[in-house]
Amino acid sequence: MATAHLMPIDSGRLSARKLRAPSAQGHERPGRGPAFAYVLQPQDTLYAIARASGVPLAELMRRNPSIQGSTPKAGERLWIPDLLPASAGDPVASLGARVAAGGEIRISPDRRFVAVLDATLADRPNAVTVYERKAARRIAVPQAAAHYIWKRLSWTPDGYLLAIEGSRQTRDAEGGVLSAFDPVTADKGVLLTPHLALADLESEGFDPALAEVVGFKPVKRRIHYRLAFIEHGERQLRHSDWEVDLDSGVRRRL
C-alpha cells in the first residue's frame, strides 16, 4: 500500500492547548441560555432554521413550547439559541434562504468558536468567517483561490475547522480542496488538492481522469474522506476511501 506525504499543519501546540467554553452572555430567553428573536419568513421551515442556525431541531422546539403541535406561520416569532456574538448581528434576512443558497453555521465542540458560511451576501459571496464568541472577535478564513467556492464545513473534536472548497465553474460538484483551519493561530493548511488526489489514486493502480472530495469525517487526529473519480475511457463514477493524519500529513487508502 502506497502512502503520500505533504507538509503537515503546525499542530504541535494545538494538541496540547486547552480551550474553555465561554460563559453565557446576552439576555436570557425561554429555556436556558441566551437567544435571539427571529421572525418567520414565508419560505422558512423549522428544519431549515435548525440547519441554518446550527441548533438541533429538538432544542429549537424546547425553546419554543408554543409551536409544539402546530405548524409555525410566517410572521410568528421564534427564539433561537444565540450561537453568534452580538457583533455578528442577524445572520441573514431569512435563515431558510441561507440553507437554500448553501450556507450554514457550525459551532466548535467546546462552543468557543462559531463558523459561518454565508452564500447570501451580495458583497461577499461564499464568505466564511469564524467568530470567537466570548471576545466577539471575527477571524477571516482565507480561500484556496479566487475561482474556488466553499462547499462544506465541520469541526474536529479538538478544534480544527475543516472545509471543502470546489471550483466556482462547477457549482454542482462537491469540491477538490480539503483544508483545516486553526482559529487560535489563524493558520490554514491544505490537506488535499485535486492534483494530490489524482496522484494518490494512481499510486493505488487506478487510472483517474478526474477526482474530487465528496465527504469527510473527523476521527480523533485523522480525517476520513471519500474520493469520487472517473477513470480514463469510462463513464462510471467510482469511489475510494482514504484518511489523512493531521499530525504527520500522511494520506493512505483505507
pLDDT of amino acid 238: 94
69 — alpha (psi -120 to 50), left (phi > 0) or beta?
Answer: left
Most confident of 102-106, 107-111, 131-135, 145-149: 107-111
CA nearest to 158, candidates 223, 97, 231, 206? 223
pLDDT of amino acid 207: 95
pLDDT of amino acid 201: 96
- Does any domain span residue 190? yes
| Ordered DSSP codes for the chain | --EE--PPP--HHHHT----PPPP-S-B-SSSSBEEEEEPPTT--HHHHHHHHT--HHHHHHH-GGGTTS---TT-EEEEE--S-GGG--S-S-HHHHHHTT-EEEE-TTSSEEEEEES--SSSTTEEEEEETTTTEEEE---S-TTEEEEEEEE-TTSPEEEEEEETT-TTS--SEEEEEETTTTEEEEEE-HHHHHHHHHHTT--EEEEEEEEEEEETTEEEEEEEEEETT----EEEEEEEETTT--EEE-
Q: State the average pLDDT over residues 44-54.
A: 78
- Does any domain span residue 125? no
pLDDT of amino acid 101: 63
pLDDT of amino acid 13: 31
pLDDT band at 229 (very low <50, low <70, confident <90, very high): very high
Please state the domain count of the chain.
1
pLDDT band at 173 (very low <50, low <70, confident <90, very high): low
Q: At 50, phi and psi to the nearest 5?
A: -60, -45
**In contact, 2 and 203? CB cutoff 8 Å:** yes
3-state SS, 58-88, equals HHHHHHCHHHCCCCCCCCCEEEEECCCCHHH
Domain that residue 182 falls in: 145-254
Size of the chain, expressed as the number of residues it contains: 254
pLDDT of amino acid 59: 82
- Does any domain span residue 220? yes
Q: How far apart are CA 125 and CA 129, in angstroms?
A: 12
Q: State the average pLDDT over residues 219-234.
A: 92
Q: What is the pLDDT of residues 176-212, one digit of tens each?
A: 889 999 999 989 989 999 899 999 999 999 999 989 8
pTM comes to 0.68
171: Cα within 13 Å, side-chain hemisphere: 5
pLDDT band at 142 (very low <50, low <70, confident <90, very high): confident
Q: What is the pLDDT of residues 55-101, one digit of tens each?
A: 778 888 888 888 776 777 888 888 887 666 554 544 444 556 655 66
Q: State the average pLDDT over residues 6-20.
A: 32
- Does any domain span residue 78? no
- Does any domain span residue 184? yes
Which of the pair, 235 or 11, is modelled with greater confidence? 235
pLDDT of amino acid 87: 45
Q: Give yes or no for residue 252 having a pLDDT over 60.
A: yes
CA nearest to 176, candidates 217, 219, 144? 144
